[in-house]
């Protein structure tokens, strides 16, 4: 598990915001911070806006008035429409959601509103708790980030998230219930999760689970992310550190290698797989 965590309840000024993420119109983040504490998380840049001195993964702000603010926005004179993505700089189903139910309260409002197509990206099996609400949404898609099925790598790199096997079980339940599910393999961890054998194995597992769409993303080598990764590699995976350094020194060559693997894998498997165009985790 990750280290000590600071939790505070806060009042947010807005909850439904315009987003520049391609393909989406709005984003919604029910929490500030994320106790999944993923070593590679790009969202750790949010620390400087949080007012916290703790490291990323060690604090969580619970937006206790999120549903109230969402209700006001949905009932405004200029009601929103289009595509909404939930969980862009936090996980809407991190452990605290089990008791606070902020995400569920927002989804219940959206289920009655029915003018937004809802997409959720998570690393938590807790999303299955809200299956009955998800089925009421007119258009709902659930994305699971599954970086690897290797529990030891996951335990070190994403210590607060649901184990990969539980995420896969949750994906199966949602698919069986008729909810479209996609998977984000992100980021690829050089030397740990990016070999042809590991990608093919993961792809087959996901395809057999009924996942029809898979997106893959390379690591975005932000300095803070690299610092955390190098520390973990040295401690747990020293044999893979040279591969990480080669990627950092020549990311374009690495992407060409990954694309070559995908070309070899693409024909015999049922689901569609694509590499995210930009290097962004």
pLDDT digits (tens, 9 = 90+) for 50-91: 565 667 778 899 999 999 999 999 999 888 999 999 999 999
The pLDDT of residue 64: 98
Residue 85 DSSP SS3: strand
CA distances for 176 relative to 48, 165, 191, 209, 211, angstroms: 41, 17, 34, 9, 11
Q: Given the structure tokens 């990969």, which residue do they identify?
A: 164
Q: Which has the closest alpha carbon to 30: 81, 101, 78, 117?
A: 101
105-122 average pLDDT score: 96
The pLDDT of residue 6: 85
**Does the structural domain 6-275 have CATH classification 3.40.50.300?**
no
Number of Cβ within 10 Å of residue 178's Cβ equals: 10
Question: What pLDDT, in 10s, does the model give residues 122-157?
Answer: 999 999 999 999 999 989 999 999 999 999 999 999
* Phi-psi domain of 226 (left: phi exceeds 0; alpha: psi -120 through 50; beta: other): alpha
The pLDDT of residue 104: 98
Whole-number average pLDDT of the chain: 89
For the chain, percent of residues with pLDDT exceeding 70: 89
Residue 171 pLDDT > 90, yes or no? yes
Residue 244 pLDDT > 80, yes or no? yes
**What tokens appear for 215 in the block?**
């997106």
Given a contact cutoff of 8 angstroms between Cβ atoms, the answer to whether 262 and 204 are in contact is no
Residue 47 pLDDT > 80, yes or no? no
99-112 average pLDDT score: 97
34-50 average pLDDT score: 75
CA distances for 49 relative to 19, 56, 105, 153, 247, angstroms: 17, 12, 25, 30, 30
Residue 34 pLDDT > 80, yes or no? yes
Strands 31-32 and 59-63, sheet pairing: antiparallel
Domain residue spans of the chain: 6-275
Question: What pLDDT, in 10s, does the model give residues 191-235?
Answer: 999 999 999 899 889 888 888 788 888 998 889 899 999 999 999
Question: What pLDDT, in 10s, does the model give residues 1-10?
Answer: 455 578 999 9
CA distances for 208 relative to 20, 123, 211, 263, 271, angstroms: 33, 19, 7, 20, 9
Given a contact cutoff of 8 angstroms between Cβ atoms, the answer to whether 10 and 64 are in contact is yes
The pLDDT of residue 2: 53
Give me the sheet containing 213-216, strands edge to edge.
Answer: 16-18, 26-28, 82-86, 116-122, 140-145, 181-185, 213-216, 272-275
The set of residues, in sequence order, having a beta carbon less than 8 Å from that of 280 and lying 6+ positions away, is 42, 217, 220
């Amino acid at each position: 598990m990750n280290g000590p965590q600071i939790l505070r309840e806060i009042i947010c000024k807005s909850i439904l915001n315009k987003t520049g993420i391609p393909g989406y119109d709005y984003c919604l983040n029910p929490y500030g911070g994320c106790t999944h504490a993923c070593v590679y998380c790009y969202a750790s840049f949010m620390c400087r806006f949080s007012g916290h001195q703790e490291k990323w993964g060690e604090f969580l702000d619970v937006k206790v008035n999120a549903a109230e603010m969402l209700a006001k926005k949905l009932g405004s004179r200029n009601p929103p429409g289009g595509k909404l993505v939930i969980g862009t700089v936090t996980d809407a189903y991190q452990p605290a959601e089990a008791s606070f139910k902020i995400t569920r309260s927002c989804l219940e409002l959206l289920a009655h509103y029915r003018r937004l197509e809802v997409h959720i990206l998570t690393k938590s099996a807790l999303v299955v708790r809200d299956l009955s609400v998800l089925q009421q949404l007119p258009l709902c898609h659930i994305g699971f980030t599954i970086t690897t099925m290797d529990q030891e790598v996951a335990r070190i790199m994403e210590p607060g998230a649901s184990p990969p096997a539980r995420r896969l079980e949750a994906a199966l339940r949602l698919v069986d219930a008729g909810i479209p599910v996609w998977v984000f393999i992100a980021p690829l961890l050089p030397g740990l999760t990016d070999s042809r054998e590991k990608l093919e194995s993961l792809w087959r597992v996901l395809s057999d689970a009924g996942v029809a769409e898979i997106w893959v993303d390379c690591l975005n080598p932000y300095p803070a992310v690299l610092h955390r990764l190098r520390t973990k590699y040295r401690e747990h995976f020293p044999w893979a550190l040279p591969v990480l350094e080669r990627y950092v020194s020549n990311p374009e060559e690495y992407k060409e290698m990954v694309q070559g693997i995908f070309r070899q894998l693409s024909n015999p498997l049922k689901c569609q797989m694509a590499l995210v165009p930009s290097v962004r985790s």
